[in-house]
Structure 1
Amino acid sequence: MMALAASSPSCLLLPRPTKPTPPPLLPSTSSCRRPSCSLQRCRIRSRRAGSPAPAAGLARAVASSSPMEEATQPQSGGGGDGQQEAMKLLFVEMGVGYDQHGQDITAAAVRACRDAITSNSIPAFRSGSIPGVNTEQMKLQIKLGVPRPTQHLLDVERVKAVFPYGKIISFEVVDGGMICSSGVCLEAMGDKNDDCYIVNAAVYVGY
């Protein structure tokens, strides 16, 4: 029976019909269809359109940095021609000054300079320890640390008057000092608020 079933035509397996294979697509010669190519062209196009040339960007950076470099140069005073004179430095005096009432930044600067010079004696300029040098050859460089909001109120001439002798060849004001609360506001002493102004001074002495 098994032999007859195997030889029967009804048991034969027929091959399944296959779908016709479409013809292969020919490559287009007009443009590339790959996403990587279009993305690459987009990147190149955006870089050319929006990015400046390296040389032009460098030139603009150099031009924009020039005013800043000029603004950070220390200001000199007392030299006459605006150029700082050469000086042989002997020592540096440092002091601090306060104005607790009245909010006078110049008063704080004056006290800072007095604090720097009143606890020092300079006999070398009078005793002849330095041959050919006396008080007439003494040179001073003044540097003050003043809170920035008060710098425009500073009376430089009042501060310079503190020094009894010596030629001031430079006077520099930088950001420094402090504004803090004195804890009390006394209208009778000229207080507008309870601010206390603090100024730091460095006095460079030489010839």
Structure 2
Amino acid sequence: MDSDQSTAKAVEPVPNSSMKLLFVEMGVGYDQHGQDITSAATRACRDAISSNSIPAFRRGSIPGVSFGEMKLQIKLGVPRSLQHLLDIEKVKSIFPYGKITDVEVVDGGLICSSGVHVEEMGDKNDDCYIVNAAVYVGY
């Protein structure tokens, strides 16, 4: 075993374990034209939440928990070289409800070629940015 593996710390299942976790939504977002990492991140978050409905919070299905107590924690995999360009507030703004208690940005995602450079679409080059998102939902 190399030294990097032996010194790795245990990873918690949720960024903030004080939250009672109900489920995790996962998504991927791309920006093929314009090279905007925030667009890729917002698409990843929309992808994560787009095919889910959460009636339990609105209907009071969880005893003692109201809609206003819904908490979200967001973890984004973003290429390290682009993390400083990410607009976290814009990413947070796409969530329609729930209190966002934490946004964690980690090394991840991908920069690859889209195969085409289209100046008319705002391209600076042929890079495609890809971001991964995990949205933790609980109370």
TM-score strictly above 0.5: yes
Q: Quick one: distance in 1 between partners of 2:34 and 2:89?
A: 20
SS in 2 for 1:93: strand
Higher-strand-fraction structure: 2
Does the residue aligned with 2:40 lie in a helix, a strand or coil?
helix
> Which residues in structure 2 correspond to 1:181-192 (within 5 Å)?
181-192=113-124
- Letter aligned with residue 149 of structure 1: S
Out of 130, 145, 151, the residue aligned to residue 62 of structure 2 is: 130
C-alpha distance in 2 between matches for 1:134 and 1:197 = 38
1:130-172 superposed Cα distances (whole Å, 9 cap, x missing partner)? 1221220000110000011100000000000011111111110
The yes-or-no answer on 1:176 pairing with 2:108 is yes
Q: What is the distance in 2 between the residues matched to 1:130 and 1:90?
A: 10
TM-score (norm 2): 0.87
8 Å CA contact 2:30–2:43 kept in 1: the answer is yes
Is the Cα contact below 8 Å between 2:60 and 2:67 reproduced in 1?
no
Assess if the C-alpha contact under 8 Å between 2:28 and 2:131 holds in 1: yes
- Alignment partner of 1:100 is 2:32: yes
Among 133, 144, 169, the alignment partner of 2:76 is: 144
Q: Which residue of 1 aligns with 2:99?
A: 167
Higher helix share: 1
Report the Cα distance in structure 1 between the residues aligned to 2:71 and 2:18, rounded to whole angstroms. 9
CA RMSD of aligned residues (A): 1.5
Deviations 1:111-137 (A, max 9, x none): 000000010011110111112212200
Q: Which residue of 1 aligns with 2:18?
A: 86
Aligned sequence identity (%): 79
Q: C-alpha separation between the residues in 2 aligned to 1:175 and 1:141? A: 17
Divergent runs of 4+, >6 A: none
After TM superposition, the score normalised by the length of structure 1 is 0.59
Contact 2:31–2:130, Cα closer than 8 Å, also in 1:
yes
Match of 1:114 in 2: 46
Unaligned runs of 5+ in 2: 1-8, 10-14
Pick the structure with greater CA Rg. Answer: 1
CA distance in 2, matches of 1:176, 1:126: 34
Return 176-185 or 132-141, whichever deviates more. 132-141
Q: Which residue of 1 aligns with 2:12?
A: none
Q: How does 1:188-199 map to 2 (within 5 A)?
A: 188-199=120-131
Q: Which runs of 5+ in 1 are unaligned?
A: 1-68, 70-75, 77-83
